[in-house]
Chain A
Amino acid sequence: MATTHISPAESEAAPQHERVVNDLSIQVATVNGSGSQSSNMVLLRALFQMGIPISGKNLFPSNIEGLPTWFTIRASKHGWIARRKEIDFLVAMNAETGEEDVRGLDAGAACVYDEKLNLARLRDDLIFYAVPFDKLVAPVCPDAKLRKLVRNMIYVGVVARLLEIDMGEVERALRKQFKKKVKAADLNFKAVLAGYEFAEKNLEKRDRFFVGRMNENAGKVLIEGNAAAALGCMMAGVTVVTWYPITPSSSLCETLITYMKRYRMDPETGKATFAIVQAEDELAAIGMVMGAGWAGARAMTSTAGPGISLMAEFVGLGYYAEVPGVIFDIQRVGPSTGLPTRTAQGDVLSTALLSHGDTKHPLLFPASVGECYSMAIEAFDLAEELQTPIFVMSDLDLGMNYWMSESFPYPDKPLKRGKVLDAEDLNRLGGFQRYKDVQGDGIGYRTLPGTNHPAAGYFTRGSGHNEDALYTEKGELYVRNMDRLERKFETARRLVPGPVIEQAGHDVGVIAYGTTHWAAMECRDQLAREFGVQTDYCRIRAFPFADEVAAFVRSHARVYAVEQNRDAQLAGLLRLSLPGEEIGRLRSVLHYDGLPIDARSITDAIMTQEVGS
């Protein structure tokens, strides 16, 4: 593709002398394992408590200690919470990346740095603040072993002073972070104060970035997507959880364990109303889900791309044998070593068609922590109603980062357990046919092992069975069954969450899903403000696609599908689902460098294509 240089309207950057309040991005560059996560969370939470819309993204290596790591905080009075590519305020603590970090800044940006890195020599168009971290930490923390961890709290104080973050909120955030560890909290707050006092005495404020109190966060919570999904699973009444550790999904089941131990012990017996098993691998994790789902439990596992690949065979069996189960895929970049701790939407196409033979599976695409919660609940209902594996396609950005949200609502509908016959039903009906489409929705009735009725039992197999679940290799019966499964998929199309559409008759449409939503929304604002390009919007929330998605494509001359993978995977699924004449309207905007997508990149890519059309 020819690259046309698109220059965003200059109005975006405020003149150098003007104060910029509540519209900035802070990047903290540290070394993995240096305790910077606590410092960054204190900064993030303090801003959140000040009522300013914020987002925090941890860009971390696949490493426990020693490799570079960055944390980006965005504060936006407009409510934009996607990653911002441009950094306004850098905290450079890492000797290894310091020079590159400083060279990447735009003119006018501010940089707090460790004095000994001597970074001010590199640029004359930035505002530098040198801080002698070692000198400051020594009197605060006499224990030399702890200094490495406490040292990072110094920059919290420095940044608080320079940006005018309320110190009362900083202390409250810090004490929340350290929970009951009062001594650790005291020590760390001393370090924050040391940084604050140093900045007050020695640093003259020369940059233009400030924060100030707002009232946008009343009642809101701050939570990671994986924790939100775990809460959803618990409220959905999950009973069997099997998992194998893998970044970035592990925290989902780990958080779930904590919640379940607290809220799901039977008060009368003190026993667990659930079973959680760390399996030997993902093959076993999904096998246990299949066994449990078959026996009537609400069963789930969570994993990432490599685990999805391993689960392929069992998921195919689940499709053919019609066994419910919920699988969370916290997507990340590709196989083996390299970028396992970076985000992507790279499993969409392979998961939709996972396994061998003719298989396809419903996928849900949460865009927010609120949807991680609500779609977890919906996924269990759908799995049992449709008697098939259901995938919830989250990603690292959503799963492992903290996001603001309204409080999650308590479920207002009872659990939907699907078509299950018990012994009484069988007495009344005289029997049942496991794979017969009684109601025309493609879904048969099932019984659970342990049902005390001579007609209850049936033998579950893969591809070859008749309506009575008896073995057959007859082509005609196979075709009939496959056609029924197709009808069932049509039922799924009606049951899965529909798209969220904003339509006002514009020529250009934008399609996004999952975490791409946030950057896509900001991009639409940029397109309108800077280029006068108005767009309609369709946020896809599930596969199979509801009919409204095809209608959206049909009613636009050009539709940009924005996603975080190289191969336009969702657009590929759309091409498989849309009528031929609509396909030509689809264009793609693709982002796949492992970092969460940002609005500016989308705006540039869309305008490049718009200029030529």
Chain B
Amino acid sequence: MLLALDLDAEGRVLDARVIESGGEAFDQAILAAILDFRFSPALDARRAPVPAQVQYLYRFRLEVQATVAVRGDVRAGGTREALVGASVMAEQVPMTPLPEGEEPRRVSVQSGADGRFELAGLDPGRWRLLAGAPGFGIEELEVEVTGGEVLEVAFHLSPDRPWEAPEVGETIEIIGYRLPPEITERRLDQDQVRVLPGTGGDVIRAVQTQPGVARTPFNAGTLLVRGMPADASAFYLGGVGIPVVFHFGGLSTAVNGDLLSEVVFLPGSYGVRYGRTMGGVVDLAPTTAPAERTQGYASIDLFQAAVMHEQVLSKRASVTLSLRRSYLDTILSPIVNTQDDYTVRLPRYMDGQLRAIYRDDRGMVVQGMVLGSDDRFTYDQTDSDGDRTESRLDLRFLKGWASWTMPLGRGWQSELALMAGPEQLAAEYLSDEEAYEKAQREHLRLELSRPVPEGGVIGWRLGVDLELSHEEYSYQVEDLDGFFLYADDEEGAARVFLPGVYLEQVQKQGPVQVIPGLRLDWMRTDDDYQAQIVDPRIRVRWEVTPSTVVNAGAGQYSQFPLLREVMDNGTGVPRLDPEHAIQVSVGARQQLLPALSLEGTAYGAALSDLVVGHDDRFTFELAPPPMAPYDTDAYANEGTGRVLGLELLTRYEDPRWLAFAAITLSRSTRVEREGQARTLFEYDQPVLLTLVGSHRLPRGWRVGGRARLTSGNPYTPVVNRIYDLDEQGWLPVFAESNVERLPAWASLDLRVDKEWTFRLWSLTLYLDVQNLTNRRNVELLNFSPDFATEIPVYGLPILPTFGLRGAW
């Protein structure tokens, strides 16, 4: 029988149609059964999994069944995944020694798609059963076969050389399309991220190793993408915005990466699905299918402990619980607290997610998740009078997330996603000063899409992207003593309404696809602020050959000012407009070998209407604030900028190797105010070089390394100082902005994993050594209080960490 199948990106069958009938009874039987089949995902030219339409030939075979004596299943030890095509052999154990030259009787079968096997026609007596599969060791057991009784056995094979295991499923040919991938779209698979050296297995820290992403000092929790500021990057969870993506210090992503199927990183020139941001986009994509088996893990490492359990409720539904807590505060706080007059309670964080997912036979997926995160940092000080004061920083959110995706027929698919709940960032400083930002935010996305149908020329994507929030902020820090001086106390509150709509059309002419799109966004506050954005974008994709793809894109990417900037504390600032970036990029990807690819992207951006001013106002910093002259004038859309860059990425990936080399050359400049000189962007890093390799060895070993070399950040030197007698302190006199550069930054990281596999669970021990050469990298430049001495602040010394992970 010949069938036409619609497969999703994970190889599941969404729809099946009979092309060549095998008779009505067979047709009905196979159409009922085929929905449970699972195929290897189709890969596009960049080896990214994509939905596909395939033709599938199924042959029915009539056999005369002998009596089944033994049945069972063959699974991989530890993960308990069914092994397809494993060999199971039964060898009769003779009661007496066999005459020379006579072989014992043997019966062999192979396991089916679910790992099950049956051995039939075994005579009563003792039999030795052996099971083996490519890449796995051989397991042996003896059974006693008695007539009329079926023995049930289970094999759990220990993975020995797992890369030799064949991929499960049929070879399929891609004959259909979905909406094409973005010009530069990097998908990170969670299984690869987990063993990436130097990242601690964290998904967003893995994104930070991608080309086009500049280093932030101390690997702080932010993304600096293609010369854009940190607040120009946006983070999503399943298509809707997530308030915080990093815990304090960038140690960990605020959502457990094991809930995700992948991380989509779009550094620029992306389609209209994402808006209200000028820079890169990271979309954390939760898994879209219920767990196939009950599984979980518990892990501990230097920073945190985590437990996750995924419970299968039925064939179509599962529920997952994840809890994590850091204990950096418990371990390291005593080391930091060497002085009597203050106590630092180092950052600690905890997060949890509870998710339920249901997927029906037609491909409809409904998910619901409750996710929460709580970060805390405290600092106690005892002053000369013996009075104790505590400073505290809290960052927390509690969100509900829901997603509903459904095939609508005729190739259309709908996606509805919603995130809602409170979020808060609050700081209480010494001397009763405090600052906070609170929001109750709801974000909803409804998207309809239809890929170009087989033989067709037009595809569509249209959607509504709606955000409604009540935001409140207060910065009562004017009298804060110490390192930072803030000009004004501020407070404000408003309801903010951010509706957006977008439409994108895919026009396919042979190997060329042209994808024009338009995105419209509005911002309205109950404080009577209104602004709108019209962002036209176009992308072109040309599949020159099956292994060569050329992309180009151009468009406008805009973002609204912050609420505090448009409210401005009622001081009557002129109305602010959205900030804009015109992005252009041209790229090509060449599949040199099945496992080796090379891609390059040249990009540029012209930034305009950037909001500048009021540097002297308090902000919750995303990165260490630069030591530079303050622009204390009123907010204005006067900033402009230019970005030029080239990214090159070569990647090698086979079952044993994962390796890539990435180099980024870029230049990012700014003109802060009209008439001022052009200066370097504060995180301009002309050269970023990353080399990563990870290699699987026999017996559960894996070794990997990462080498990074980046230019140092620019900085503004202090060339003189003024003594302020009223404050009894020094004021710096700066040179021209960002005329000096910190030394280049380099680091070599190493990771070794060893996995022990048992029948029902596995244990992994890893050692991750960051900065193996103990290089003293200057992350920041501080100054003595009199500004006479530059004090380099160094990054982490050699940092060996280890972790244990037990998975079941």
A, B assembled together: no
Q: Which residues of B contact A (CB under 8 A)?
A: none
